[in-house]
Amino acid sequence: MKILNEFLVSISYDNDTSVLDFYAECKKKFNSYNFNYEIKTNEDIYKLYETLKTKLIDEIKNFFSLNNDKLSNKIYENKYIKELYDYFQKLEKNFNLIKENNITLDQINIMTLNYKFMIQEDTNSDKFFKYIELFIKFNKELDENYTEIFKEIIESREFEELYIGAMESSYVKNFIKNYNLEYNYNLFMEKYIKDINKYILYMPLTRGIKAYLSNYFRIIININSIEFIGIIKEKKEIIKTYLLTNLLHESMHFIFRLDKMNKIADKTLSPIKKKYKNEYAEIGVDLIYHIFKTEYITFYNEESCKIVNNINSWKNPKTNFGVFELNYYEDNVIKKLNDNEEKNGLRCNNSFIDNNMNGEEYDENKFYYSSSIKLCH
C-alpha cells in the first residue's frame, strides 16, 4: 500500500485543479480497499502480491476509465496509468527475486533495517528493490557460513572465562564507572553474563554489519561478512578475538538498556561522547575506543589476537590494548588495506556505499563509510 500511496502523491503534485479533485476521489476509493493481510511467511507475501496484481490493478484501470470526464486532459489518464504499471513491474521483479533466491521474511526484515542508511532512492519501491539486489550480491560473495565455529567458540568454557574476565577487568569497570552504569552492570553480571550464549542469534546480516543488539535483547551476530587473507596458522584464535570484541561492544548496549526495557533502540541512545574528533551516541564504539584506542576494528592479525585472547592481559591494569590499526569515522586518518603491503589475518568486510559518493562508481576495493558504520565497530 505504500507504493500505491506514492502513486497517489505523484498525482497530488499536479497543479491542474481537475487533477487534484481526481486525486482526492482516487484516494477515497483506494482507501476503501482492505489489504490488512497478516504477513508471517513467504507464502503470505506471494498471496498479497497476486491479489494486488490480479484485483487491484484491474479495479484501478476501470476506475480511471469511468472517470475520464473528471480529467481536463486525457493525457493524464495515460500518464498515471503508465506510472502505476511501472510500480507493479518493479514489484513483480522484486517478488521474482525473492522466489528465485528463496529469501525469507526474516531476511527481508533484516535487510530493510540494515540497508536503510545505504540507499538514497526516493520511493519505497526503489529502496526495496535495491535492498534485495545488494543482499543477493553480497551473499553470493560471502558464501561461507561461520555459524558452527562461532557457536563452538562462544559456548566453550575457555571463551566463557575469557569473556567474563574481560568484563570483570579494570578496563571495563572504569568505563562503567565513567558512565554511572554500576547498577545495570551488576545486574548484567549477576543474571545474564554466564548465560550469554542464550541471548545470541546467528544470522546472515548485510555486509559490514558485524553484530547488533535487537529490540528484544538478543545479540545478533553476522554469520559471514569476514574474510581470511594471507597465511594464517590459527584461524580459530583470530575468530575468538573477533567474537570477543563484538560481544564486549554489544554487551555495553545490553547493559545500557537494561533499565530501559520495552523501549525501542532509537529511544535508548547513549549519551553523545567524543571519539577521535567527532561526537555521536554509540556506547559500543565508546568502549572499543576506551580499550583499543580506535573507533573501528577492521583487521585482526595473529599477534594482536595473542594479547587480546590472553586472560592475564585483562588482569594486568597496564596492558597496552592499542594493538589494532587506527580507524576513525569521518576523518582523513581512516586507513584501508594497502594492496602492496603483506597482510595475514581476518579482514572485516566494511565496504559501505557512501551517502556522499556524488555519482562515483562503486569500487569493491575501496573503504566507503556512512552512518551505517555506527551500527558496528
pLDDT tens string, the chain, 377 residues long: the values are 555 566 666 655 556 666 666 667 766 766 666 555 566 666 776 676 677 666 666 666 676 666 666 554 554 455 666 666 676 677 777 777 877 777 776 677 667 666 665 666 666 667 777 777 777 776 665 557 899 999 999 999 999 999 999 999 999 999 999 999 999 999 999 999 999 999 999 987 766 678 888 888 899 998 877 888 888 888 999 999 999 999 999 999 999 999 988 877 777 888 888 887 778 888 999 999 999 998 888 889 999 999 999 999 999 999 999 998 877 655 444 454 444 455 789 988 654 444 444 445 445 444 444 444 443 44
Q: Measure the CA–CA gap between 344 and 74, rounded to whole angstroms.
A: 66
**Single pTM value for the model:** 0.64
Domain borders along the chain are 2-141, 147-375
Q: Give the 3-state secondary structure of the chain.
A: CHHHHHHHHHHHCCCCHHHHHHHHHHHHHHHCCCCCCCCCCHHHHHHHHHHHHHHHHHHHHHHHHHCHHHCCCCHHHHHHHHHHHHHHHHHHHHHHHHHHCCCCHHHHHHHHHHCCCCCCCCCHHHHHHHHHHHHHHHHHHCCCCCHHHHHHHHCCHHHHHHHHHHHCCHHHHHHHHHCCCHHHHHHHHHHCHHHHHHHEEEECCCCCCCEEECCCCCEEEECCCEEEECCCCCHHHHHHHHHHHHHHHHHHHHHHCHHHCCCCHHHCCCCCEECCCCEECCHHHHHHHHHHCCCCCCEECHHHHHHHCCHHHHHCCCCCCCCCCCCCCCCCCCCCCCCCCCCCEEEECCCCCCCCCCCCCCCCCCCCCCHHHHHCC
